[in-house]
Structure 1
Amino acid sequence: MEMKNENENESHDESVKQIQHDFHEEHPLVLVAEQSNEGLKAHCNGCGELLSAPCFTCIHCNYHLHKQCAEVPREIPNHPLHPKHSGAGLLLRQRLDLTYHSVYGCALCKEKRNMFFYQCYWCYFSIDIKCAQLSSSFKFSQLYKHDIHQHPLTFIESPMAIDVLKRLNCCWCHEPLTYAIYLCPDCPSFIIHKKCLDELPTKINHPSHHIHPLFLHYSDRNHFCNLCQKEHSGAFYGCSLCHFNINLECALLRSIIEEKRSHQHPFSLLWRQGSFICDACDTEGNYISYICLKCYIVVHKKCISLPCIIKFSRHAHCIFHKYFLQTQELTKQDCKICFNEVRLERGSYSCVKQGCNYVVHVNCVLEDEELYELIEDEKQCEELEEKSMQSSIIRVIEVNEAGEAAKIEHLSHQHCLVLADKMEKEIDRKCDGCMLPISNIFYYCSECPFFLHKTCAELPRFKQHWFHHSNGTLNFDSFKWEKCNGCGIWCRRGAFRCGKCRFALDFGCLTLPHSALHKIDEHKLKLTYHDDKEQSYCDICEQYRDPSFWYYSCSICDTSAHPKCVLGQFPFLKDGSIMPSYFYRNHHHHNLKFFRKVEGFPECSPCGKFCQEEILKCETPTCNYIVHCKYKCRWDN
């Protein structure tokens, strides 16, 4: 397979010490030519493997690439597994977008591995960089159309020559792929021996349906498999008299399955005429079950391979799958996602950290693949925990009498920062970390106007995005419209809802600071959630204020105001920020920068009126283009 590299930002000269990579534009990556004695305890962001030299690494953040991964071509012209769009080419992407139901993962290994991958420009076909490199020298036969499958199949005469296929099994006989196979690049699990496909029986007697034989059928429409309880298309065995159907992969099941990563003993097939409750996930199953004869655990077939350890984005620690929970106290445990009871005698995921009682249902935590990642072993758990504890303070230079870091080097700034407890002058300064006013102990730069709250400076270097981190009270729901209890506006793009009542908050109200400063009052204004007065007014704009919605107030001075009047229209934007194009209709050919205050009263280029508040200004010094931040001016220019 011919490959070409169109990346002009990278050099392949061994003498080059650093590169600027397309997937990590924040900082340059520095070349590490030789591995130290201690080794590199990190993983490559390109292939997911343990890092080894030569490699490129970011000295500011935890981003690493093997030299080979950093230099993979940004585009490959075609791939033999995807002749449908051979002229379009495959583009290198950083991560699979799993929000699309059509994305199955890599076309060859069938996995959704956390690594770089190539994706077709026109469709969802994708192949990760490992498989792309493996298959680049492997000859695939032309695609073959068979009556039992809706997609063309690729014939591979020697599958064992491709490493990633060694761990897969035939979907019919479930034996290893030791001889010629057919593979469907478009389906997540259709791989079948050529011999099995050629000798596929047209009629079978199946233990799940004794009264009639089942006949082989094919349909482009979806059919429901009575065994795995899922919709499928393509070939299936069915009884037209009883409307009983079995998907091809469920028709011949393995009698014994060993999955030592999930359970220490093998599971044996146990046919059932009725339903059962799975000991792994605490949900009902039908017909097919597997039993561990040592532990007497009965599970779904799919639950045999449940991941033992996962890192869920809504909890700080790794959580472990347990078939039952042993507790010292007979207390009821509620799932931290759905708030319903977790039965301790059934399977669940729980945190093993002392003092942490985080427990969730299996199906709740595994529902969205974007919200968790698989953890190989406890060692990887420890590495993640060490990573989460890394401080943003690079070096402490001086310590004061109280033992506090009085002078530091911080990863967010090029100069040293000094600890202070008050401003020398009464200046309205904002923290460059959170954009809230400086009002208590903070760090400042003596060489330039840079400020950080002490709490912001001490934040860990790596932290899960709070949007995916629920405290067990509010959960984001993007499907239901709710009226926000904070501002009264309908949440058309989803809301954070309480699992036990109809309380809901939109994104804006959820992110309001608990306190704020404003020139109208000498004290801090506190975010307040309810007003007993029948009629209330904002002390800033002097307009009516609904007492049932949130507002800022000072109990000492009896001041109250709308949140937008206290914080302004863009409270968290820094002066000089380059605005994304979706913020305005980009009829101007230069980038625009945001400024909160302007000198003089310049004219707005679109409307001709004087600007007194926030503006967007062209970043080019010779260009005088200025526009109001008001919606009409931003979009009608």
Structure 2
Amino acid sequence: MVFYCCLSCDFPIKISCARKRSKWHERTLHLTCNVSALADVSSMDSESELISLITQLLFVHMELNSEESEFTSLRNQIISLMSSMDLNSQPKPVTEFMSLITQTISVFNSIDLNCLPEPLSKLILLLYANYMDSDSSWEKLKFIFKSLFHNILTLEPEPDLISLIHRIFSVVISMNSKSRMFFSLYPQKRVTLEHGKFHVTEKVYWSGNGKWECFPGKWLEFKYLGDDITYFRCRGCNGDNHEEYKNAIVEIQHYLHRNHSLRLVMLDENSRTRKCYCCDDNIQGLFFWCMPCDFAMNNACLKKPLVFSIDHPKWHEHTLALFPRQAFLTCNLCALADERSPIYMCPSCDFVLHLKCINLPRVIRISRHYHRISFTFSFNQGDLSCGVCRRIIDNKYGGYSCIKEGCSYVVHSRCATQQNVWDGKELEGEPEEIEEEEVEPFVRISDGIIQHFSHQLHHHHLRLDENTCRDYDENKVCQACITPIYFGNFYSCMQCNFILHEECANLSRKIYHPIHPHLLSLGYGNAMVKYTYENKCTACPQLCVVGFFYKCNKDGCRFKLHVQCATISEPLVHESHMHPLFLTSKPEEERRICLVCKGPQRVLTKETFNCIEECDFALCFGCATLPQMVRYKHDKHILTLSYGEETSAMTYWCEVCEGKVNPKQRFYVCDEYCCLTLHIECLLGRDLYMNPGSSWVHYDDKVPVLPNNHHMTRPICSQCEQRCSQKIFFQLFGLIYCSVFCLRKL
């Protein structure tokens, strides 16, 4: 039996009971073992298991984004195993590892927390409390842990306990290095991508803050397919303190680039990237680069065998030979003259093929078209434009066309196989899918009365309201799009306050959207949504808390769209621009700046609605989905969204906040005689698509969404210390926050 015991009063607590206690005993408790109960435990097995657990712990990257469960589980297993080991019956001679373990436990049991340096005593108490309370969240504690740990490493002289732990880790790493093959990578340059080319930003620096900086927690590991070697870059010393490991090469000559040598460099963590020369994967982490030629290839490509000729009857009947020089030769399959890919060619036939085009599919389905499309080596018609990028197609080269007779849809090869358009499935030889019968979103009970799928648990029916002369009520909000019923028909529940726009009630249960290759299903929010990227709309910066949204059902895919973002598509005719707008963004390109809001938005997609004329206009989903016409409770007229005038010298005042309205920016205005003006945020709110009475989860704590119209004075935000001016505010730990932005500053 393993238990905790107070040495002063013999106060015992079983481990299982100790974890349930909310308070500690008033004196220090020591780990104690009942040796007789452990007689059948093999000492050698315990030692091997302990070495294995410590090895796993060392290779857990202790960064702020590390997995809570992994670190906590390993730590608890190590503590439990050490407490259960019979140190008096170890085999002779005692190994160096077990000798250090014995010394560590002895030192730990003899320490007085009051005599320890403050950071160390706090760290011990923190880990002890977290170990005792298995339900406590490591998410909240790891920030404190990291701060205390760094403070401990700067203590002089080094505490005995810390010194012993370091020696244990060193012994375990030494054992591990004998069983695994490690190669140290030490790049000397850091690069970043600017305007499509890599540029050196600085030399690679490292922390160099002592012996703790070189443990595996500071390593960036790389494994390549079919290779037993583990490559790593130590962020603590960049290879200077790892003489026990072999050093990987940092400069090479490669047959695909004979003019200059390639050097190992590191891509800046905040930099964009581009495709590798040899493969169709993005350049990542550490790679080899020629600065004069801007030639770049991934580490993994160095392991690929030399292939000077290939036979590929799928694309050409003759053997194709490698053309090792970088050249602007137009590929017969993709119609691009891309020097950043190896070229294979048949000189006698004037046939050119990029290496990255060899695996192009023959028959596919893309999100931009209803039918399957198949590859064709040329097009018979002229003046064709691509259905994705909207640019002209050169009919002398290959591309994709619709297989349906009479359909003239065509698309470039590279455009058709973009990751945001194609799902990666080759459909050649596959039978056409039998289209599932569309499931209606509601059951029609009688004329004007339905039972909607989103409200069927209550067994309530909705009645259609076609009264267009009704007064505006800002509290009547559609439960699908979470916007007020400004005008138009809507369905209202005959037994409760549930309301749906007629258009929202008719939303399809399943759709394909142009910016995602997989099928999307209609769902609705719940009260336990966490504020994470997977619960945000992919196209706009808003959280999917309540209301309807479309989500991808494919395992591992976190794509979501609010119904507002899902129901706009191309061509988009928008009041902010004179030309129709299209979704022409490419995954490898930098996200374009919206020329309406002109601000960077933290969204998960690079997609914007773009003008294909010469004006280079771009519109983000957030701006595209703002309602063009709205109502205001103190005005009987319809308000329209004005996009401002650059030359305007007028002075406007917001009806809600009584602040100035910039006439050169967007605002809502009544064009009737009253000339009322309002800021967009004052009318719609800063955090859209959130209902009073709903809630979401910040880490593990529930955040209620509260109405801001039931008090004589508006509450003050605990973060920005301003009055909460929006229709809603948030509450966390009893504190008030005016917006998600202020709350997340915690």
Larger Rg: 1 or 2? 2
Q: Secondary structure at the match of 1:524?
A: strand
TM-score, normalising length: structure 2: 0.45
Change in 2 beyond 3 A, CA 1:378/1:566: farther
CA distance in 2, matches of 1:565, 1:353: 50
Aligned position for 1:456 = 504
The alignment partner of 1:408 has SS state of strand
Indicate which of 479, 483, 498 corresponds to 1:436.
Answer: 483
Cα 1:455–1:501 change in 2 (3 A) is same
Partner of 1:17: none
| 1:372 CA displacement | 3.7
Contact 2:708 2:714 in 1 (8 A): no
1:333 aligned onto 2:450 = no
**Matches for 1:376-525 after TM superposition, within 5 Å:** 376-377=426-427, 383=433, 386=435, 390-391=438-439, 393=441, 395-400=442-447, 406-411=449-454, 413-415=456-458, 416-422=460-466, 426=471, 427-428=473-474, 429-438=476-485, 439-463=487-511, 464=513, 465=561, 466=565, 471=571, 473=582, 479=590, 482=593, 485-487=595-597, 489-491=598-600, 498=611, 500-506=614-620, 508-525=622-639
Structure 2 residue corresponding to 1:527, chosen from 641, 647, 660: 641
Structure 1 residues 551 and 218 mapped into 2: Cα distance closer, same or farther (>3 Å)?
Answer: closer
Which residue identity lines up with residue 375 of structure 1 in the other structure?
Answer: K
Task: Read off the aligned partner of 1:568 and give its amino acid letter.
Answer: G
Asked if the contact 1:406/1:419 (under 8 Å) is kept, the reply is: yes
- What is the aligned partner in structure 1 of residue 425 from structure 2? 375
TM-score (norm 1): 0.51
Q: Residues 16-415 of structure 1: matches in 2 within 5 Å?
A: 143-144=180-181, 186-187=222-223, 189-190=225-226, 252-253=306-307, 255-258=309-312, 263=314, 268-272=319-323, 275=327, 276-284=329-337, 289-290=343-344, 298-310=352-364, 312=366, 315-317=368-370, 320-324=373-377, 326=379, 330-334=382-386, 336-337=388-389, 339-352=390-403, 359-364=410-415, 366=417, 369=419, 372-377=422-427, 383=433, 386=435, 390-391=438-439, 393=441, 395-400=442-447, 406-411=449-454, 413-415=456-458
Which protein has greater RCO, CA pairs closer than 8 Å, 6+ apart? 2
- Contact (CA 8 Å) 1:593, 1:617: kept in 2 or not? yes
Q: Write out per-residue CA displacement over residues 342-386 of structure 1, whole angstroms, 9 at most, x where no aligned residue.
A: 21222234555678665443334545x455421242798965x94
Higher helix share: 2
Partner Cα separation in structure 2 for residue 555 and residue 225 of structure 1: 55
Q: Distance in 2 between matches of 1:361 and 1:386?
A: 27
1:109-155: per-residue Cα shift (whole Å, max 9, x none)?
xxxxxxxxxxxxxxxxxxxxxxxxxxxxxxxx9655799x99xxxxx
CA distance in 1, matches of 2:710, 2:660: 30
Contact 1:515 1:526 in 2 (8 A): yes
Q: Distance in 1 between matches of 2:332 and 2:378?
A: 12
Q: Which residue of 2 aligns with 1:122?
A: none
- Would the aligned equivalents of 1:481 and 1:492 in 2 still touch at CA under 8 Å? no
Question: Could you list the per-position Cα deviations for residues 377-412 of structure 1 after superposition, in whole angstroms to 9, with x for gaps in the alignment?
Answer: 2798965x946x84451x524242xxxx63233235
- 1:612, distance to aligned residue in structure 2 (A): 7.8
Are residues 627 and 470 of structure 1, via their aligned partners in 2, closer, same or farther at CA, if it must alter by over 3 Å?
Answer: same
> How many correspondences in the alignment?
435
CA distance in 1 between partners of 2:736 and 2:285 (Å): 55
**Cα displacement (A) at 1:279:** 1.0
Partner AA of 1:345 in structure 2: K
8 A contact 1:527–1:553 mirrored in 2: yes
Q: C-alpha root-mean-square deviation of aligned residues, in Å?
A: 5.9
Go from structure 1 to structure 2 and tell me whether the alpha carbon gap of 1:538 and 1:219 turns closer, same or farther (over 3 Å shift). closer
* Structure with greater strand share of residues: 1
CA separation of 1:498/1:452 partners in 2, compared to 1, >3 Å: closer, same or farther? Answer: same
Query: Contact between 2:451 and 2:462, CA under 8 Å: does it hold in 1?
Result: yes
Alpha-carbon distance, 1:505 to partner: 3.8
Q: Give the distance between the partners of 2:489 and 2:650, measured in 1 at CA.
A: 38
* SS of the residue 2:623 aligns to: helix
Q: Structure 1: which 5+ runs fail to align?
A: 1-76, 94-140, 151-184, 193-205
Task: Report the Cα distance in structure 1 between the residues aligned to 2:365 and 2:438, rounded to whole angstroms.
Answer: 18
CA deviation after TM superposition for structure 1 residue 578, in Å: 1.5
Pair 476,335 (structure 1): closer, same or farther in 2 beyond 3 Å = closer
% identical aligned pairs: 23
State the distance in 2 between where 1:632 and 1:492 align.
13
Picking from 570, 577, 582, the partner of 2:694 is 577
Closer, same or farther in 2 for the Cα pair 1:273/1:448, shift >3 Å?
A: closer
Q: Using the alignment, how far apart are the partners of 1:425 and 1:520 within structure 2?
A: 15
Given that residues 311 and 318 in structure 2 are in contact (C-alpha distance below 8 angstroms), is that contact kept between their aligned partners in structure 1?
yes
1:597 aligns to 2:706 (yes or no): no
Structure 1 residues 295 and 550: alpha-carbon distance in aligned structure 2, compared to 1, 3 A threshold = farther
Contact 1:392 1:457 in 2 (8 A): no
Instruction: Read off the aligned partner of 2:596 and give its amino acid letter.
Output: G
Change (3 A) 1:244 1:577: closer
Q: 1:390 to 1:517 in 2, by over 3 A?
A: farther
1:274-309 residue CA offsets vs partner (Å, 9 max, x unmatched): 753211111236796556999985422331211334
Q: Write the distance in 1 (CA, Å) between the matches of 2:51 and 2:383.
A: 59
In structure 2, give the amino acid aligned to 1:414: L
Give ranges in structure 2 of 5+ residues lacking alignment: 1-49, 70-177, 187-220, 229-253, 267-274, 514-560, 572-580
Please state whether the residue corresponding to 2:443 is helix, strand or coil.
strand
CA drift of 1:564 comes to 2.8
What amino acid does structure 1 have at the position aligned with 2:667?
A: Y
Aligned mates of 2:352, 2:287 — CA distance in 1: 29
Q: Counterparts of 2:359 and 2:663 in 1: how far apart (Å)?
A: 54
Change (3 A) 1:612 1:555: closer
Map Cα deviations across residues 156-206 of structure 1 (whole Å, 9 max, x no partner). xxxxxxxxxxxxxxxxxxxxxxxxxxxxx94555569xxxxxxxxxxxxx9
**CA–CA distance in structure 2, aligned partners of residues 146 and 187 of structure 1:** 11
The alpha carbon displacement at 1:326 in A equals: 3.5
